Amino acid sequence: MVNVYRPETLAQALDTLSMGKLTVFSGGTDLMVQHGVRAGMSPKFEQDVLFVDAIDELQYIASDEQQEQALYIGAGVVLADIEQHPLVPSVLRQSVAKIAAPALRNRATLAGNICNASPAADSLPALYVLDARVVLSSIRGQREMPLEDFIMAPRVTALKPDEMLTHIVIPQHDLPEEFYHKVGTRAANALSKLSVAGMARIKRYPKKAPVLEEWRVAFGAVGPTVVRSRELESLVVGQSLQTLAKSGFIEQVVGCYREIIRPIDDQRSTAAYRQQASLNLLTRWLEELSRR
C-alpha cells in the first residue's frame, strides 16, 4: 500500500519530499514501463508517489534578464511544448522532436528524460553541447550544477532523496551552426542506436580564411553517459575552414574520437555499428563546416 500526493505548489511538493523517500512522477512514461504496467493491471510502486504535474510554478519557459538571458525550462513542461517554443535552441527542439511519437511527447517531460539518466536519452547530447545546467530544490534550498556532473552513471544522478529537479537552465550562447542526427530503426517511436549533436560558430575576416571560433560535439548511446570531450574539441577550435578541408585533418580528429567512443552491443545495435556510424556523422559534420 503506497500513498499518493499531488500538490499544487512547489512548497507543498518540497515539504512532502522532506518526509521520506518518494518517487517523483512527472509524465510517468518511463516510470509506468519500469513498474510493469500492462493493460488492465495496476502499477506496482514500492514507495510513496509524488505527482508533480499540477504545479503551475514548474510550467514555464522564459529567459531570465538578470541571469544574462539564460533560458529557464520548468520541470513540468512537456516535450511537445519544448519542441514548439521559439526561445528553445533548435538543436534541442530537433532532439526532442525525435523522442517517441506525438502522444507520448504530450505527456513526457524534459526533466523526466534527464532524471531517468538513460545512456540513450535523446535530449542529452543536445543539452550537453548547450552546456545546460540543472536546478535541484529541497526545503533546504536550491543548488545548481552542470548537467554533466548531475548525470553520474546509467540511471544514477546526483539527486538527494529530499530533492527534485525544478528547472533546466540553458546559458545564452551564440553558436548558429547546428548539427543533430539520431539513428534509430525507424523515423518515430524508435529508441536511439546512437545520436550526435553539435554546435559551432564561424568567425569571418575580411582578408583571411574563416575560422571555427567555437566547436562542440556530443554523442549519445555510445557509452554509459553522453560522450563529450573538451580536450578533443580544442583540436578543432581556432582552426580555419581551409585547414579543415586539407587532406588528413578531419581523419586525424576522427581518429582521436575513435579512441573515446566505446559503445557496447545490445538489443538495439552492435558496438561496431554504433562506433562507425558515430564517426561517419562526425566526419559529415566537419566536412559540411569546411564548405561553409
Ligand X SMILES: Cc1cc2nc3c(=O)[nH]c(=O)nc-3n(C[C@H](O)[C@H](O)[C@H](O)COP(=O)(O)OP(=O)(O)OC[C@H]3O[C@@H](n4cnc5c(N)ncnc54)[C@H](O)[C@@H]3O)c2cc1C
Query: 3-state DSSP call for residue 241?
Result: helix
Determine which residue in the list 74, 89, 112, 263 makes contact with ligand X, applying CB under 6 A. 112
* Grid coordinates of 58: 514548474
Contact residue for ligand X among 16, 116, 225, 269 (CB under 6 A): 116
Cell numbers placing 16: 512532502
Residue 115 CA, chain-centre distance (Å), reads: 10
Task: Of 271, 265, 202, give the one whose Cα is nearest residue 239.
Answer: 202
- Whole-angstrom Cα distance, residue 127 to residue 125? 5
111 forms part of the interface with ligand X (CB under 6 A): yes
Give the binding range for ligand X (CB under 6 A) out of 22-30, 145-153, 172-180, 273-281: 22-30
Residues 159-198 that bind ligand X (CB under 6 A): 159, 164-165, 189, 191
Does 109 bind ligand X (CB under 6 A)? Our answer is yes
The full length of the chain comes to 292
Closest separation in Å from C-beta 14 to ligand X: 11
Q: Pick between residue 8 and residue 287 the one whose CB is nearest to ligand X.
A: 8
CB atoms inside a 10 Å sphere around CB 22: 22
C-alpha neighbours within 13 Å on the C-beta side of residue 29? 22
In the list 70, 80, 82, 108, the residue contacting ligand X (rule: CB under 6 A) is 108
Residue 33 CB coordination number (10 Å): 11
Contact 10, 58 (CB under 8 A): yes
Q: Could you tell me the smallest distance in angstroms from the CB atom of residue 174 to ligand X?
A: 27
**For ligand X, how many residues bind (rule: CB under 6 A)?**
29
Of 10, 61, 75, 82, the residue at the interface with ligand X (CB under 6 A) is: 75
DSSP symbols for 40-51 = T-----SS-EEE
State the cell numbers at 151: 548525470
Which residue is nearest to ligand X, using beta carbons? 112
Window of 26-34, 198-206, 247-255, 260-268 that interacts with ligand X by CB under 6 A: 26-34
Could you tell me whether strands 141-146 and 23-25 are parallel, antiparallel, or unpaired per DSSP bridges?
unpaired
Which listed residue (13, 14, 17, 52) binds ligand X by CB under 6 A? Answer: 52
Reading the block at residue 64, the C-alpha cell is 531570465
Residue 138 found at the interface with ligand X (CB under 6 A)? no
Residue 135 interacts with ligand X (CB under 6 A)?
no
Number of other residues whose CB lies within 10 A of the CB of residue 106: 12
25 binds ligand X (CB under 6 A): yes
| The binder of ligand X chosen from 26, 225, 278, 290 (CB under 6 A) | 26
Does residue 24 touch ligand X according to CB under 6 A?
A: yes
Residues lying near ligand X in the complex (CB under 6 A) are found at 23-31, 33, 52, 75, 99-100, 104, 108-109, 111-113, 115-116, 121-122, 159, 164-165, 189, 191
